[in-house]
Amino acid sequence: MDDYIIRAVTVGGQVRAFAAVTNNTVGEAASIHNLSPVASAALGRTLTAAAIMSKMLKSEGNIITIQIKGDGPLGGVVVVSDYQANLRGYIYNPEVYIPLNSKGKLDVAGAIGKGYLNVIMDLGLKEPYIGYVDLVSGEIAEDIAYYFAYSEQTPSIVSLGVLVSPEGKILSSGGFIIQLMPDAEEETISFLEKRIKDIPSVTTMLYEGKTPEDILKYIFEGMELKISDKSPCKYKCNCSKERMERGIISLGKKEIQGMIKEQKGAEAQCHFCNKKYWFNAEELEKLM
Ligand code: ZN
């Protein structure tokens, strides 16, 4: 199955819902960064959240960044998506191995620890919008739900999951976000709350071969749902030598002079795709 995201609304517009399958995107991230299983789960959940949230952006050129910073061994997560759901991301410490949690699952909360989550939306305005919340669980889905409730005053049900084999292969990855609009009736809310408790995990459903459409139809069983959009997502870095120049310039004159003298050049590596760019002495002179 190719990776994609769907958007849907209930008839009457009380609830909007998004669902995504991200197996290939997360598989690509895991292979680029040589992620451990718990790092795959953490980065994969965040990539899926960003894929879905890119569909909440307003227009071409808008960019969403999710940053998670924790005091656990993973250190932090950074994920960026553009309007077309071209996704990229990295984990501070990608090769962390920690024991499974008490439920026998990958311990994402333990690997992230205590900290905060930032959502930065560049909507092409003078200043980007920045939402900031403390982590409530470190499991990421709950933290994103808390972000929506706290920063955007939108009650949301968020489910994000990555199923990883013991060898580190991504078996399934995806998620959904369901949001209640201000006119949502109490009845609809209690129906969804109960329904979410009854259904299998999103990774189980995807692993069984269910599509994002199947998953939303299953959750909203008996309610009329209109699927309004389907669009692809993928892992795609947008780095270039020109973009890397900015990083080198920010090191300052003295540092650059040192690199010319000692190494006759400098190597810059992209955090998101690990591609390396070499700047020779002449190019560094120009940057100074
Ligand atoms: Zn790159």
Is 180 a residue whose pLDDT tops 90? yes
**How many CA within 13 A on the CB side of residue 82?**
9
64 within 8 A of 49, measured Cβ to Cβ: no
Q: What is the pLDDT of residue 223?
A: 87
Quickly state the pLDDT bin for 187 (edges 50, 70, 90).
confident
Kindly give the distance from the C-alpha atom of residue 278 to the centroid of ligand 1, in angstroms, as a whole number.
14
Cα(222) to ligand 1 centroid in Å equals 45
Are the C-beta atoms of 49 and 160 separated by less than 8 Å?
Answer: yes
d(CA 48, CA 79) in angstroms, rounded, equals 10
Q: pLDDT (tens digit, 9 = 90+) per residue, 26-45? A: 999 999 999 999 999 999 99
Region 56-83 average pLDDT? 97
How distant, in Å, are the alpha carbons of 69, 77, 108 from that of 99? 21, 20, 10
d(CA 209, CA 252): 52
216 Cα–ligand 1 center, Å: 34
Mean pLDDT in residue range 241-265: 91
Distance between CA atoms of residues 181 and 153, nearest Å: 10
**Structure confidence by residue, pLDDT tens digits, 103-146:** 999 999 999 999 999 999 999 899 999 999 999 999 999 999 99
Is beta strand 234-235 parallel, antiparallel or unpaired with respect to 86-91?
A: parallel
pLDDT at 111: 98
Dist CA 128 CA 167 (whole Å)? 40
275 C-alpha vs ligand 1 centroid, how far in Å? 6
What the block records as the tokens of 5 is 């995201």
| Residue 1's pLDDT band (cuts 50, 70, 90) | confident
Mean pLDDT of the chain: 95
Residue 93 has pLDDT above 90, yes or no: yes
Q: What is the mean pLDDT of residues 87-106?
A: 95
pTM, two decimals, is: 0.95
Query: Separation of 89 CA from ligand 1 center, angstroms?
Result: 10
The answer to whether 1 touches 211, Cβ cutoff 8 Å, is: yes
Q: How far is the CA of 241 from the centre of ligand 1 (A)?
A: 10
| Span from the CA of 237 to the centroid of ligand 1 (angstroms) | 5
Give the separation between CA 92 and CA 135, rounded to whole angstroms: 17
* Span from the CA of 131 to the centroid of ligand 1 (angstroms): 26
Distance 235 CA to ligand 1 centre (A): 11
